[in-house]
Amino acid sequence: MGPLEGRVRVAIENVKPEINGGRFPAKAIAGDRVTVGADIFADGHDILASMLLYRREDEPGWTETPMRLIVNDRWQGDFTCGETGSYRYTITSWVDEFRTWCSDLRKRVEAKQEDIGINLRIGAGIIRNAAARAQSTERKQLTRWAEALESDITGLEDKIKLALSVEVSALMDKHADRSHAFTYPKELAVSAERKKAGFSTWYEMFPHSCSGTGEHGTFRDCEARLPYIAGMGFDVLYFPPIHPIGYTNRKGKNNAVIAKEGEPGTPWAIGSEEGGHKSINPRLGTLADFRHLVAEAKKYEIEIALDIAFQCSPDHPYVREHPEWFRRRPDGTVQYAENPPKKYQDIYPLNFDTDNWRELWEELKSVVTYWAEQGVRIFRVDNPHTKPFVFWEWLISEVKREYADAIFLAEAFTRPKIMYRLAKLGFTQSYTYFTWRTSKSEITEYLTELTQTDAGDFFRPNFWPNTPDILHAYLQTGGRPAFITRLVLAATLSPNYGIYGPPFELMEHIPREPGTEEYLDSEKYEIRLWDIGKESSLRNLITRVNSIRRENPALQSNHNLWFNAADNGQILCYSKHTDDLSSIILVVVNLDPHHGQSGWINFPLEAWGLDVSLPFQARDLLNGGDCSWQGEWQQIELDPAASPVRVFHVTQSPGL
């Protein structure tokens, strides 16, 4: 170590966010404040100064903002990602000679030491050194202050007042001696995406069931459904694959191995003589029809999301044109997809181990960019965990280079570390285990993991109470209260959530057979006729829930998710609030869909900055009605037959 390095005394550790040692970027939304923390300390008792340095990736110079000491050598600073794009940040810190001297001077003054003249002369020397680093007017000002501290004319009290003044401190901070500063050796990254990446409301729908007559639906039929979907407050309409469907080994009703004549087949068996991933199932319409649908949806402030399923039916043109992209068995036949005991004879997986992997990658990238050219910017990716990580990192990066506003949702119901890895690689949002978390402890533990650990820096959950593949036992047996409960949990626990409709709002709950999560008469294999005007539909409730989400900023982030105490194991209580406390939401849920539950719940008024001695108002946004309460503990009763959930907006006026 050279002599200059020997005078670097600061250590910087445990920087957050830092994903995999800086290998991956953290996630943010354009306009959001990014908070950076670090353990910063040095030997001895000298005072430190620390700066957070940040810049857009394409900017050459750093912008600085001071960091503040929080507690126990933990420092924190923040910056705003003003636009979408990639940002870089790091930290620099140094022993601040002037601040250390000021602290020493205050102690001497408080101790009423008489002879502090020599200390004032030391301070004058520090200020003179700063003057040498300053320019023009500021150099002259610093020099005058140094002379005043050395002057025999200036009184002692005036010297002390000057030395500890805000004006001197500010200029000394500007021209601090950083010659022995330590800068964290890594430039860390944060990726800022558009608002819908962080707050979105999804509705999944099969176009083939949209005709309203039982005939095969079209994109024009989907257009007719837009007012219904927009009226409920959804801003993303997601379609399963819209491509031609293969005929070989086509699946029939309820996943029958052999389809009957006229049965549509599953949309995930992509490809036929009519085309592949860049083609449209002619029964849905034409490319012009699809473009028209995309344009019409925008009028309702809805974006169309498409399914990206990189797999093929045996009839896909790829099978004929690129046989090297598929794995063959010893008997020469192509290996179809299997997940024992399940068999998917109508689907061939792509072989990413092929020697021609570069050509395969480029072709698959062109599939995504093709649909982006048609106006699609949101993609739900089917089973990404069955394709190489490096492929997704490359593809998402390549697509975003051209379409920076692209959003990718990872449908990866797999092991936690794999789900997290996909999020780090670039997936904007991720499916989760929410569907299977139904008890108070399961929900609390899982949401604590997602929001209060490092996962919150890179993993954006998207909660779905149901999907075409998953009809959970809770919905099968819990009746209407179960659907209401899961809807409100998904919509208020996660800023991004979705439902598979119309089965959800119509409360479809019959499984194909006991013990399975498959729907009876699943829409994956047949055309269904839905009575969306049915009086018992949850349509009005869903509309209200989505309106509450839009109107209350606290529900548009997981930044301040708290789990509040409740003395009943069947009652889940949690809250969210904005930093300025202008929006405080507290949700109380009876997790038992069959029985009424009551208990005491906690309103943490003091932690929220409210006055415990004053009454507060809790307005039930979901069911209506105001409560005027006082004190942090209130008793509540939830009857699932009436409403298993209450969503309170909490306010307090000094005049109450």
**Residues with Cβ < 8 Å from 410, sequence gap 6 or more?**
381, 384, 385, 419, 422, 423, 427, 429, 430, 431
Taking only the tens place, the pLDDT of each residue in 324-362 is: 999 999 998 888 888 888 788 899 999 999 999 999 999
Judged against a pLDDT cut of 90, whether residue 117 lies above it is answered with: no
Same domain, 5 and 147: no
Judged against a pLDDT cut of 50, whether residue 288 lies above it is answered with: yes
Taking only the tens place, the pLDDT of each residue in 440-486 is: 999 999 999 999 999 999 999 999 999 999 999 999 999 999 999 99
Rounded to whole angstroms, the Cα distance separating 230 from 542 reads 11
Same domain, 189 and 45: yes
Predicted pLDDT at 344: 85
598 inside domain? yes
**Residues with Cβ < 8 Å from 318, sequence gap 6 or more?**
271, 276, 312, 325, 326, 350
Q: Tell which of 193, 225, 245 closes a domain.
A: 193
Tokens coding 61:
């110079």
Task: Give 13's strand partners.
Answer: 39
Predicted pLDDT at 654: 57
Judged against a pLDDT cut of 70, whether residue 1 lies above it is answered with: no
Q: Tell which of 164, 193, 222 closes a domain.
A: 193
Same domain, 79 and 189: yes
Rounded to whole angstroms, the Cα distance separating 471 from 467 reads 7
User: Could you give the count of Cα atoms lying within 13 Å of 538 in the half-sphere of its Cβ?
Assistant: 24
Q: Sorting pLDDT into bands at 50, 70 and 90, what band is 537?
A: very high
123 inside domain? yes
Tokens coding 580:
């300025």
Mean pLDDT of the chain: 95
Q: Identify which of 32, 14, 139 has the alpha carbon closest to the alpha carbon of residue 79.
A: 32
Predicted pLDDT at 655: 44
Identify the active-site residue in 235, 382, 523, 632: 382
Task: Give 236's strand partners.
Answer: 202, 303
Q: In angstroms, how far is the first alpha carbon of the chain from the final one?
A: 67
The three-class DSSP label of residue 220 is helix
Same domain, 71 and 152: no
Using CB atoms within 10 A of its CB, is residue 55 exposed (0-12), middle (13-18) or buried (19+)?
middle
Burial 13-42 (b: 16+ CB within 10 A, else e): eebbbbbeebebbbbbbbebebebbbebbb
- Give the domain CATH number at 602: 2.60.40.1180
**Residues with Cβ < 8 Å from 637, sequence gap 6 or more?**
596, 597, 598
Q: Identify which of 579, 428, 558 has the alpha carbon closest to the alpha carbon of residue 84.
A: 428
339 inside domain? no
CA distances from 585 to 347, 438, 565 (A): 46, 21, 15
- Give the domain CATH number at 48: 2.60.40.10
563 inside domain? yes
19 inside domain? yes
- Give the domain CATH number at 126: 1.20.58.80
How many CB atoms are located within 10 Å of the residue 114 CB? 7
Judged against a pLDDT cut of 90, whether residue 656 lies above it is answered with: no
Q: Identify which of 202, 197, 235, 186 has the alpha carbon closest to the alpha carbon of residue 84.
A: 197
Q: Which of 110-124, 298-312, 388-402, 510-524 has the lowest mean pLDDT?
A: 110-124
| Residue 152 domain boundaries | 97-175
Q: Are the CB atoms for 267 and 346 separated by under 8 Å?
A: no
> By percentage, how much of the chain surpasses pLDDT 90?
92
Tokens coding 628:
């005027």
Q: Are the CB atoms for 601 and 633 separated by under 8 Å?
A: yes
Same domain, 43 and 188: yes
Q: Tell which of 149, 175, 201 closes a domain.
A: 175
Q: What is the DSSP string of 129-181?
A: HHHHHS-HHHHHHHHHHHHHHH-SSS-HHHHHHHHT-HHHHHHHHHT---TT-
486 inside domain? no
Rg (alpha carbons) of the chain, rounded to whole number: 31
Q: Sorting pLDDT into bands at 50, 70 and 90, what band is 309?
A: very high
Rounded to whole angstroms, the Cα distance separating 523 from 177 reads 69
Same domain, 72 and 13: yes
Average pLDDT over residues 14-43: 97
Same domain, 67 and 188: yes
Same domain, 7 and 144: no
Question: What amino acid is encoded at 324 in this protein?
Answer: E
Q: Per the confidence metrics, is the pTM higher than 0.75?
A: yes
CA triplet 580, 75, 170: central angle to 5 degrees? 85
Q: Are the CB atoms for 102 and 165 separated by under 8 Å?
A: no
Taking only the tens place, the pLDDT of each residue in 570-618 is: 999 999 999 898 899 999 999 999 999 999 999 999 999 899 999 999 9
Rounded to whole angstroms, the Cα distance separating 456 from 477 reads 33
Q: What is the 3-state secondary structure (H, E, C) of 362-419?
A: HHHHHHHHHHHHCCCCEEEEECHHHCCHHHHHHHHHHHHHHCCCCEEEEECCCCHHHH
> By percentage, how much of the chain surpasses pLDDT 70?
99
Q: Are the CB atoms for 302 and 234 separated by under 8 Å?
A: yes
455 inside domain? no
Question: What amino acid is encoded at 257 in this protein?
Answer: V
Same domain, 85 and 141: no
User: How many folded domains does the chain comprise?
Assistant: 3
Is residue 346 annotated as a catalytic residue, yes or no? no
Residue written as token pair 């995504």: 368
Judged against a pLDDT cut of 90, whether residue 377 lies above it is answered with: yes
Q: Identify which of 376, 352, 377 has the alpha carbon closest to the alpha carbon of residue 363.
A: 352
Does a cis peptide bond (omega within 30 degrees of 0) precede residue 17? Answer: yes
Is residue 104 annotated as a catalytic residue, yes or no? no
Same domain, 50 and 188: yes
How many CB atoms are located within 10 Å of the residue 526 CB? 22
Predicted pLDDT at 2: 44
Q: Are the CB atoms for 494 and 462 separated by under 8 Å?
A: yes
Same domain, 32 and 110: no
Same domain, 4 and 84: yes
Identify the active-site residue in 411, 457, 505, 523: 411
User: Could you give the count of Cα atoms lying within 13 Å of 200 in the half-sphere of its Cβ?
Assistant: 33
- Bridge-based pairing of strands 303-308 and 236-239 is parallel
345 inside domain? no
Taking only the tens place, the pLDDT of each residue in 223-252 is: 999 999 999 999 999 999 999 999 999 999
